[in-house]
């Protein structure tokens, strides 16, 4: 259901049969939203409207390649964008509705024109070469249709378009579900041990668990955010980075409140908060590096989570009086059983994150692949992942498509036949523009450790291949120094990619584009004659 209107199987099948994945679903949902908007407005989109859009498309294409036939032009567009008949007709239908919306909503073209001109000014400032300016302007003007669609989409849905209702995603990002899990463990253990849990005890568990999970996710500084989280949960990582300042204050206030509430129950519980904070810092207080965290050590991650959750529940339900466990050793069996269940849940939660953990050498109980867990559970990987190896495969597919687009833009830059110095400066600025506009995707593909090369495939090396060709051509023209291509690429990436890396670590302030001119001068000095 989408806004109380059903999406039927036959609608999904015609689109998904041509292109599986998020892009196709995104198109389907946008088409559905636009159709709903057209119905509410009383608009009828018929074959004449679609033919008008087709004629407009042909006319636009003829402006750039007037010698080609209409059929060849359309075939070229469909081939480049991978459009089969269903998706191509849906594209024309969306354009017809969008055109009607733009006519009825004059603020859309005004906003798009304003954004386009601002983008042109930003991308051509401090550029004197007329050919670069023309290349940039053409690229920006081509993007106007995309901006039109985006503005219309915002007008229709008044939010981003997603497959599922994501209004509750913030709850998960802020560790709401994980906290509820800890509360549930406490209540189950209390029932098994025949203990009563009063509101103050529940408040204590809630404050301790929530603050602990927040520490694991946001740390104390931006530069300590875990890069493995970006790979495993890019949407959550982006949300927490934007909201980090108030989340950290919330975390601190929860610890203070937990100490106060714990002191009301038992002095031991108040002290347990301080011990828990210290343990949390040792567990995941900084990003993986030269100094290993407890969660990075082989087999300890799930074990420590299990111990923390079970220990918090045990201390709370016994109100800090653990002498009762000595008097009733049978209770230890119940607590051990709960701990084993929590341990199993922690292992299963690691399943989706194993690719990112492996990339940053975070060792899980079953090692770097899911084969160990498959053997333990008695299932095959095919039964666990039917379409993708894990959700990291899905993320990788989406993000590499964005970086692939950047590589294509740079190939166009090579064909523009610009002087090497000017082209090099344009290359640097184009790189920074993509980072500023697609930060998560850029970081995921281009700033990952080298051991990710095998998982990312050709896209990992494509930027380097394009740059080497670029430099080799400049050397042949006598515009670049005769330096080894591999060394030149190492120097270039060391300077250019270090700016996005330092922005991610919080050492430099974004956007990256504001450093474009200075960095371009540095690399020109390194490579140009």
Phi, psi of 5 (to 5 degrees): -110, 130
Predicted local confidence at residue 144, as pLDDT: 45
Enter the pTM of the model: 0.44
The confidence score (pLDDT) of residue 82 equals: 63
Whether 482 and 513 have beta carbons less than 8 Å apart is answered as no
- Residue 15 near residue 86, CB atoms below 8 Å: yes
Give the residue ranges of DSSP H helices in 477-515. Answer: 485-496, 498-504
Q: Nearest 5°: CA angle at 104, between 99 and 105?
A: 95
- CA 271 to each of CA 179, 337, 353, 481: distance values in angstroms, whole numbers, following the listed order: 21, 26, 33, 65
Is residue 482 within 8 Å of residue 427, measured between CB atoms?
no
Structure-token pair, residue 165: 């209702």
Q: What's the CA gap between 510 and 523, in Å, rounded?
A: 20
- The segments of the chain whose pLDDT lies below 70 read 1-30, 58-83, 99, 101-169, 227-235, 286-299, 322-329, 350-405, 412-417, 438-461
Q: What is the DSSP letter of 210?
A: H
Could you give the dihedral angle defined by the CA atoms of residues 508, 511, 517 and 521, in that order, rounded to the nearest 10 degrees? 40
As to burial, measured by CB atoms within 10 angstroms (0-12 exposed, 13-18 middle, 19+ buried), residue 287 is: middle
What is the structure's pLDDT at 203? Answer: 95
Output the pLDDT for position 389.
Answer: 43
Q: Quote the tokens at residue 153.
A: 């989409």
**Count of beta carbons in the 10 Å neighbourhood of residue 264:** 13
CA distance 182 to 202: 10
* Alpha carbons 28 and 78: distance in angstroms, whole number: 17
User: Which residue reads 């901006």 in tokens?
Assistant: 147
Q: What is the pLDDT of residue 235?
A: 67
Residue 103: partners with Cβ closer than 8 Å, 6 or more residues away = none
Q: Is 146 exposed, middle or buried (0-12, 13-18, 19+ CB in 10 A)?
A: exposed
**Dist. CA 413–CA 134, nearest whole Å:** 12
């Amino acid at each position: 259901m989408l806004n109380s209107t059903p999406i039927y199987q036959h609608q999904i099948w015609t689109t998904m049969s041509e292109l599986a994945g998020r892009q196709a679903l995104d198109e389907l949902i946008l088409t559905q939203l636009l159709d709903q908007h057209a119905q509410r407005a009383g608009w009828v989109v018929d074959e004449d409207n679609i033919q008008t859009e087709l004629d407009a498309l042909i006319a636009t294409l003829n402006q750039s390649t007037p010698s080609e036939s209409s059929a060849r032009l359309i075939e070229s567009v469909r081939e480049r964008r991978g459009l089969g008949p269903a998706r191509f007709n849906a594209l024309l239908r969306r354009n017809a509705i969008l055109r009607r919306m733009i006519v009825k909503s004059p603020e859309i073209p005004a906003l798009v024109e304003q954004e386009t001109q601002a983008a042109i000014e930003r991308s051509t400032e401090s550029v004197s070469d007329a050919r670069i300016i023309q290349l940039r302007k053409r690229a920006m003007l081509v993007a106007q249709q995309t901006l039109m669609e985006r503005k219309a989409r915002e007008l229709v849905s008044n939010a981003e378009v997603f497959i599922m209702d994501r209004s509750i995603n913030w709850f998960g990002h802020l560790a709401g579900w994980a906290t509820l899990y800890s509360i549930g463990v406490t209540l189950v253990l209390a029932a098994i041990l025949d203990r009563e849990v009063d509101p103050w005890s529940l408040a204590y568990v809630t404050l301790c668990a929530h603050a602990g999970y927040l520490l694991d996710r946001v740390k104390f500084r931006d530069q300590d955010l875990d890069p493995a989280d970006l790979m495993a949960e890019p949407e959550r990582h982006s949300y927490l980075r934007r909201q980090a300042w108030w989340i950290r204050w919330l975390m601190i206030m929860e610890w203070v409140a937990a100490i106060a509430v714990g002191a009301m129950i038992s002095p031991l519980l108040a002290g347990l908060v301080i011990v828990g904070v210290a343990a949390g810092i040792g567990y995941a207080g900084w990003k993986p590096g030269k100094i290993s965290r407890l969660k990075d050590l082989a087999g300890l991650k799930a074990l420590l989570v299990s111990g923390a959750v079970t220990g918090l529940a045990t201390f709370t339900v016994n109100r800090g009086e653990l002498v009762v466990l000595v008097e009733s050793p049978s209770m230890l069996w119940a607590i051990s059983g709960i701990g084993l269940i929590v341990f199993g849940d922690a292992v299963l939660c690691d399943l989706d994150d194993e690719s990112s953990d492996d990339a940053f050498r975070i060792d899980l109980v079953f090692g770097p692949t899911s084969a160990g867990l498959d053997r333990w559970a008695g299932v095959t990987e095919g039964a666990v992942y039917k379409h993708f190896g894990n959700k990291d495969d899905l993320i990788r597919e989406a993000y590499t498509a964005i970086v692939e687009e950047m590589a294509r833009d740079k190939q166009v830059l090579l064909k523009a036949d610009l002087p090497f110095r000017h082209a090099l400066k344009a290359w640097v600025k184009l790189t920074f523009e993509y980072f500023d506009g697609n930060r998560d995707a850029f970081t995921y593909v281009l700033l990952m450790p080298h051991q990710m090369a095998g998982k990312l495939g050709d896209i990992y090396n494509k930027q380097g291949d394009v740059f080497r060709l670029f430099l080799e051509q400049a050397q042949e023209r006598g515009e670049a120094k005769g330096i080894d291509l591999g060394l030149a690429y190492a120097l270039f990436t060391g300077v250019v990619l270090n700016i996005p890396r330092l922005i991610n670590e919080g050492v430099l302030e974004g956007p990256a584009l504001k450093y474009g001119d200075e960095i371009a001068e540095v690399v020109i000095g390194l490579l140009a004659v």
